[in-house]
Structure 1
Amino acid sequence: MYRALPLALLTATLVGCASDAPQLETERSYQVEWIGESPLIDRSHLTVTFAADGRAHGHAGCNHWFAGYTLKDDAVRFETPGSTRKMCAPSLMEQEQRFLAALEEVQRWDFNDIGQLQLWPATGKPIRLWPE
């Protein structure tokens, strides 16, 4: 009996630590700050919201976007995004296309040391986001 007590305490501690790990929240919006190597154009607004039904959506800078996604542990994948078709300044349209293309390359997620959500492609730098 007494030998089992330390093992039970260790197990409870490890389970407690695992639940304290940051979690990717559904129904929460995140604001994009960087796409790979590039910061966003000043005053542009890009967002990602992970809906509980497996659909993601947000604002891509000019248009609204939407895509299915799958999430398992630290793996996340987006289907090919769709969007509305409004035209904006060429620089915003280029940034929007880079963002939507980057979403298709995402394979995993994590949080960095300062609390930013990072969506990582197979190679290269992540899309970095802040919770709104």
Structure 2
Amino acid sequence: MKKLLLSLSVASLSILSMINPSMASDALSGTSWKLISWGNEKSTQTPLDETEITLQFENDQISGSSSCNRYFASYTIEDEQLKFGVAGRTQMACPEEIMKQEDQFLSALEKSRTFEINAEGKLQINYKTNQGYGVMIFTPNQPE
């Protein structure tokens, strides 16, 4: 009887992972984050005062605030690789420095490669740069 139950459990999990391979390994779905820094060991930035950059994961989609505008895109996780689709966004105009920050963030997001949630509970997303790799660090975003 135990062998039968074990076999049924394994078969069920196998079928579920074939239906949606990312479902079983998506530790990010239903989470919300706030960017606290990004860059590499030579140059690290923090969001400009009075701006907030957020990232929410839900049902294979992301959305959030990119400083001035709201953005959205699809995402997939396969073998610890995090990939975002091309981001769409609203078209509000803001001061030039805020728009520059927004463009830098969205560019880093589109070049994302891997992620991890570190021992402190922060989300780290590694992304490709012209000089190698950078990292975006997020803290959990608590609803107000």
TM-score interval for Structure 1 and Structure 2 normalised by the shorter chain:
0.7 to 0.9
Measure how far apart 1:73 and its partner are: 4.2
* Cα RMSD after superposing both structures: 1.5
Aligned residues: 109
TM-score by length of 1: 0.76
Q: Distance in 2 between matches of 1:126 and 1:78?
A: 15
Q: Distance in 2 between matches of 1:45 and 1:73?
A: 30
Q: Distance in 1 between matches of 2:125 and 2:99?
A: 21
Aligned to 2:72: 66
> Percent same amino acid at aligned positions?
28
SS of residue matched to 1:124: strand
TM-score by length of 2: 0.70
Measure how far apart 1:55 and its partner are: 1.0
2:97 equivalent to 1:91: yes
Measure how far apart 1:111 and its partner are: 2.2
Measure how far apart 1:46 and its partner are: 0.6
Aligned to 1:126: 135
Unaligned runs of at least 5 residues, structure 2: 1-25
Aligned to 1:9: none
Among 71, 81, 86, which residue is 1:80 paired with? 86
Unaligned runs of at least 5 residues, structure 1: 1-22
Query: What amino acid sits opposite 1:116 in the alignment?
Result: K
Aligned to 2:37: 34
